Structure 1
Amino acid sequence: MALRLMALRLIALRLIALRLMALRLMALRLMALRLMALRLMALGRAARSFTARGAKTLVRTPFAATSGTRRHRAAPGNHNLGQFALALMVPE
C-alpha cells in the first residue's frame, strides 16, 4: 500500500513537472511572438515614413534619425533602424 502511494506521488510529481515545462515553453513562444510582432510593427512604421518621405533623402542619409521636417524629428518612436534596413533594400 505504501509502495503504491509512493508510486502515485511520483507520477503526480512528474505530471506537475511536465505541465510546468509546457507552461514555460508556451511563455517562451508568446514572448517570441510578441517580439516578432513588435519588429513587424516597427518595420511597418518605418515603411510608412519611408514612403511618405521618399527614397532619395533616405538613401542619402541612412544613419540620420530622420530626414525630413521638424515635425518628423519630434515624432515619438521614429527610430532609424528599420528605415536603414529599408534604405539598404532600395536601389539607388
Structure 2
Amino acid sequence: MRHHRAEDHRLHPHRRRPRVRRDPDAVEGRAADPWTGFDQVERAIFQWVTWYNEEGLHSALDYVPPAEYERGFWRSQEPAPQSA
C-alpha cells in the first residue's frame, strides 16, 4: 500500500488539516504525518468541514462562522408574531 502525502497532490502543508485547538495531533506536532488509509482521509475531511462550518470565521459573512450566519438568516425569515 502506498502512502499518500499532501506534497503528492501539490497541496501546501498548511492546507492539510485545519488548525483546531482541540485537535491533539496539532497540539503535539503530529499533523505532518501522512494519512494511511481512506478512513483517515475521510475523517480529516469531515473534521475540516465541521471546523469550517462551525468555527471558521469568514470575512464575507461579517467574520462569523457559516453555520452561525445561516442560523441568523433563517431566524430573520421567521414571520413576526401578529397581535390580535
- Whose helix fraction is larger, Structure 1's or Structure 2's? 1
Q: Which has the higher contact order (CA 8 A, sep 6+)?
A: 1
